[in-house]
């Protein structure tokens, strides 16, 4: 493999393993074995396990930003439908994964926020940027009259992000997509109800 491909392969296998078992429990040797990369070559690609963890987070966040753009900037549907389509697609994905894995950023936030300030600060940035994506969409819904103008779009965006992360956690623990479905039904019947 090319050096670039090897790095990408280590990140891909590492992302999978960290998603399933967390950061602390994922050993470098086990990742290299899965990636089919010789032991000892890890430090050609990453300065430390921490640097590797941050690279995994960056890679995930990049792909996730694409996903958010796909749904929340889809100008062929109304702003509120964009939010609904994003949430429905998340529900479908989680169902396909038998409700395992959850959200990598949520998982790592839960595991590492108290342990490692570099991780915490980076995860915080990502959550803030996701919240802002929702807020932009909600403000557009307000400008087109889909939502009441007096709603604080930033606060509600944070409320959606919290509720969604919590519903993903509960789905993982229940092994059922029901909490995500309940979240979608409730949020559109109440907080995001058309005026």
13 binds a second copy per the rule CB under 8 A: no
Q: How far is the CB of 144 from a second copy (least distance, A)?
A: 20
183 binds a second copy per the rule CB under 8 A: yes
156 binds a second copy per the rule CB under 8 A: yes
173 binds a second copy per the rule CB under 8 A: yes
80 binds a second copy per the rule CB under 8 A: no
Contact 171, 99 (CB under 8 A): yes
In whole angstroms, what is the distance from residue 68 CA to residue 145 CA?
A: 22
14 binds a second copy per the rule CB under 8 A: no
The two three-digit tokens of residue 148, written as one number: 């009441």
Please tell me whether residue 175 adopts helix, strand or coil conformation. coil
Please tell me whether residue 152 adopts helix, strand or coil conformation. coil
- CB contact set of 22 (below 8 Å; sequence gap of 6+): 107, 108, 111
Binding residues (CB under 8 A) for a second copy: these are 20-22, 24-25, 100-102, 106-107, 109-111, 113-115, 120, 123-124, 127-128, 155-156, 158-159, 161-167, 169-170, 172-175, 178-179, 182-183, 185-187, 190-191
């Amino acid at each position: 493999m090319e050096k670039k491909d090897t790095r990408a392969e280590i990140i891909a296998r590492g992302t999978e393993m960290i998603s399933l078992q967390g950061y602390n429990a994922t050993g470098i040797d086990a990742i290299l074995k899965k990636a089919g990369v010789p032991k000892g070559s890890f430090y050609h690609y990453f300065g430390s396990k921490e640097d590797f963890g941050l690279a995994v987070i960056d890679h995930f966040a990049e792909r996730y930003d694409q996903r958010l753009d796909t749904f929340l900037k889809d100008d062929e549907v109304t702003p509120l439908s964009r939010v609904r389509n994003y949430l429905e697609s998340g529900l479908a994905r989680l169902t396909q994964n038998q409700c395992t894995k959850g959200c990598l950023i949520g998982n790592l936030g839960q595991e590492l926020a108290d342990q490692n300030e570099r991780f915490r600060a980076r995860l915080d940035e990502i959550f803030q940027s996701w919240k802002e994506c929702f807020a932009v969409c909600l403000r557009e819904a307000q400008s087109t009259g889909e939502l009441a103008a007096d709603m604080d779009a930033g606060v509600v965006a944070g409320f959606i992000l919290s509720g969604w992360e919590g519903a993903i956690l509960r789905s993982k623990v229940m092994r059922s997509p029901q909490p995500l479905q309940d979240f979608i039904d409730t949020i559109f019947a109440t907080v995001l109800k058309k005026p």
